[in-house]
């Protein structure tokens, strides 16, 4: 990447949208993404909201060829504690010459406004490369590109719990009920991206138990050892 491009961190949830945002920003070649940024629940050692094991996120960063900046947060996490932790992370970003943070948000205005307000206080510029893309088209484009993902978390108030642990593919898109966003932008589901053009190689994953916690259904995705080929 050209040294004249502004340095950026990319907000990394472990899901398909942040993975796709990385792919898009790299193709646009206007920013130099130098690290991924994620919040980790320090009690459970998992990515906040998605419930993905820390080891799997480490594997994503390794295959994306980027360092992973982890922001540990408490459990439960009051909003003030979250904002303090993120402000400290932004202090580090500025100290390292980072001027932008990339997000994979699609169309929720309140989320975008919150990010813009918080980063304005830190003199960091937010970037939304997927903003207002048609999510049905985007979902199909992701699958066609070779992106692979698992539904790591489902909100059973919006989507049947049986979708937890399913792969994000054409079959799943066809099975989603009417009114469910194909990218889960309304919080119907969250994903873990295990392969795609943003990674050097796929991340082997095994499906573990289904866990009910605080009204959500989590598919416990497990790192799977790669068996070397026999000679």
Picking from 191, 123, 194, the residue whose alpha carbon sits closest to that of residue 154 is 191
- Token pair for residue 4? 């004249």
Backbone φ/ψ region at 199: left (φ over 0), alpha (ψ -120 to 50), beta? beta
Domains of the chain plus CATH, in order, are: 7-127 (3.40.50.620), 135-223 (no CATH)
Confidence (pLDDT) at 2: 47
Q: Is the peptide bond before 191 cis (omega within 30 degrees of 0)?
A: no
Q: What does the pLDDT look like over 6-43, one tens digit per residue? A: 999 999 999 999 999 999 999 999 999 999 999 999 88
Q: Decide: 16 and 149 in contact? Cβ < 8 Å.
A: yes
Positive or negative, the CA dihedral 53, 59, 61, 66 is positive
Label residue 30 exposed, middle or buried (CB < 10 Å: 0-12, 13-18, 19+).
middle
The pLDDT tens digits of the residues spanning 200-226 come to 999 999 999 999 999 999 999 999 875
Using alpha carbons, select from 26, 56, 67 the residue that is nearest to residue 202: 56
Look at 23-37, 69-83, 95-109, 172-186 and tell me which has the smallest mean pLDDT: 69-83
Q: What is the pTM of this model?
A: 0.94
């Amino acid at each position: 990447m050209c040294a004249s491009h502004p340095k950026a961190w990319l907000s990394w949830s472990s899901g398909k949208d942040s993975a796709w945002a990385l792919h898009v920003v790299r193709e646009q070649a206007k920013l130099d993404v130098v690290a991924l940024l994620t919040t980790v629940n320090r009690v459970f050692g998992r990515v906040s909201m998605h419930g993905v094991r820390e080891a799997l996120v480490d594997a994503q960063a390794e295959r994306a060829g980027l360092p992973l900046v982890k922001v540990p947060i408490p459990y439960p996490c009051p909003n003030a504690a979250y904002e303090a932790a993120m402000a400290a992370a932004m202090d580090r970003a500025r100290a390292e010459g980072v001027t932008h943070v990339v997000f994979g948000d699609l169309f929720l205005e309140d989320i975008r406004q919150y990010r813009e307000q918080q980063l304005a206080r830190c003199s960091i510029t937010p970037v939304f490369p997927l903003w207002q893309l048609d999510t049905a088209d985007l979902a199909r484009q992701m699958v066609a590109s070779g992106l692979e993902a698992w539904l790591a978390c489902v909100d059973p108030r919006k989507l049947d719990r049986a979708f937890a642990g399913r792969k994000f593919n054409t079959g799943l898109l066809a099975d989603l009920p009417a009114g469910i966003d194909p990218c889960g932008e309304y919080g119907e589901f969250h994903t873990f991206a295990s392969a795609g053009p943003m990674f050097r190689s796929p991340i082997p994953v095994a499906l573990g138990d289904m866990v009910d916690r605080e009204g959500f259904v989590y598919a416990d995705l497990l790192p799977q050892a790669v068996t070397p080929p026999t000679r």
